[in-house]
């Protein structure tokens, strides 16, 4: 989803040739294959958006896959970029890197200050490793070789191109699919995991793509003024949050489902609140543009197009 949005934006940018490879063309867990791909193409810049992602259920069922796949993908790409002479790289992480009990809103300095949320700990650890990989290459090779690898941590993302799998998706695409299918089946109710009380912040993927280009291109001197060598990542959030309960009813209304919403309190809630402090990004001049309701409307339109191809 994120990579597709970045690609759409890059394709509207002058003097840019975007080179990609799908999973059938390149296994990012294969170190030799990734190194060959980088040596053959000699990239100027790299946007590292590739990752194995999923919701609470997927993280619970496949913890080994989530930590192994993401560690391998990140290590192979970042190291291959370095070996092939890439000076500028942007790594995309996740807001789950922060401790479960972080003060709200969560600042970048909260990283590694406490215990992680258990439901997605393996994924979070892999993303923390990605940040530290970038920082370590900067610290070791920044002055001597001009290495400038940057990291941004988005809040919960949604939008066109999302994964609408009924069991493995994140909350927004899962709700969209549930309410849509319930409407088609004339169901009387839709079940939502958890109590509905947790608060979550949501950012449209196209806002995230704009943030990626913004942070790839902003002058390093400006970055250095608001970050430090061992706390160099930036939060990218919307600036406000919404309860899962209110989100569910908002999606229900957008889809047009008339039945009840039932919250299954036997299912996990995850972290009760996770709002990012994006003030550093704001100080540099980046702000989101797409309101949640507008973004959900475009997401639902995308889902309906996808259902015609099979989701």
Sequence-ordered list of residues with C-beta below 8 angstroms from that of 106, at least 6 positions apart, any chain? 95, 98, 235, 274, 275, 276, 277
- The C-alpha atoms of residue 141 and residue 294 are separated, in whole angstroms, by 43
Positions annotated as catalytic residues are: 123
Asked if omega into 155 is within 30° of 0 (cis), the reply is no
Which residues have a Cβ under 8 Å from the Cβ of 91 and sit 6 or more positions away? Answer: 48, 74, 78, 130, 131, 133, 134, 149, 150, 151, 152
Q: How far is CA 276 from CA 29, 134, 176, 244, in A?
A: 30, 21, 24, 17
Which token pair is 202? 């949501």
Tallying the residues shown for the chain, one arrives at 311
């Amino acid at each position: 989803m994120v990579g597709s949005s970045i690609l759409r934006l890059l394709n509207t940018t002058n003097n840019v040739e975007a080179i990609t490879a799908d999973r059938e063309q390149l296994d990012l867990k294969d170190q030799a294959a990734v190194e060959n791909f980088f040596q053959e193409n000699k990239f100027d810049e790299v946007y590292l958006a590739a990752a194995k992602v999923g919701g609470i259920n997927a993280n619970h069922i496949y913890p080994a896959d989530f930590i192994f796949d993401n560690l391998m993908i990140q290590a192979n790409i970042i190291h291959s970029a370095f070996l092939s002479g890439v000076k500028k790289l942007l790594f995309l992480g996740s807001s789950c890197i922060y401790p479960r009990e972080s003060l709200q809103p969560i600042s970048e300095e909260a990283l590694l200050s406490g215990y992680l949320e258990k439901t997605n700990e393996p994924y979070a650890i892999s993303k923390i490793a990605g940040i530290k990989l970038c920082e370590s290459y900067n610290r070791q090779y920044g002055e001597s070789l001009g290495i400038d690898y940057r990291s941004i941590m988005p809040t919960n993302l949604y939008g066109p191109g999302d994964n609408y799998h009924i069991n493995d998706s994140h909350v927004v695409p899962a709700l969209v699919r549930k309410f849509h299918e319930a409407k088609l089946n004339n169901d009387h109710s839709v079940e939502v995991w958890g109590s509905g009380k947790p608060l979550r912040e949501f950012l449209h993927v196209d806002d995230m793509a704009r943030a990626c280009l913004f942070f790839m291109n902003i002058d390093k001197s400006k970055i250095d003024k608001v970050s430090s060598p061992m706390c160099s990542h930036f939060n990218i959030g919307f600036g406000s949050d919404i309860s899962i309960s209110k989100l569910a009813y908002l999606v229900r209304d957008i889809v047009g489902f008339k039945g009840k919403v039932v919250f299954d309190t036997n299912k996990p809630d995850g972290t009760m609140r996770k709002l990012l402090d994006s003030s550093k990004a704001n100080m540099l001049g980046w702000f989101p543009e797409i309101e949640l309701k507008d973004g959900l409307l475009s997401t639902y339109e995308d889902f309906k197009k996808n259902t015609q191809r099979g989701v």
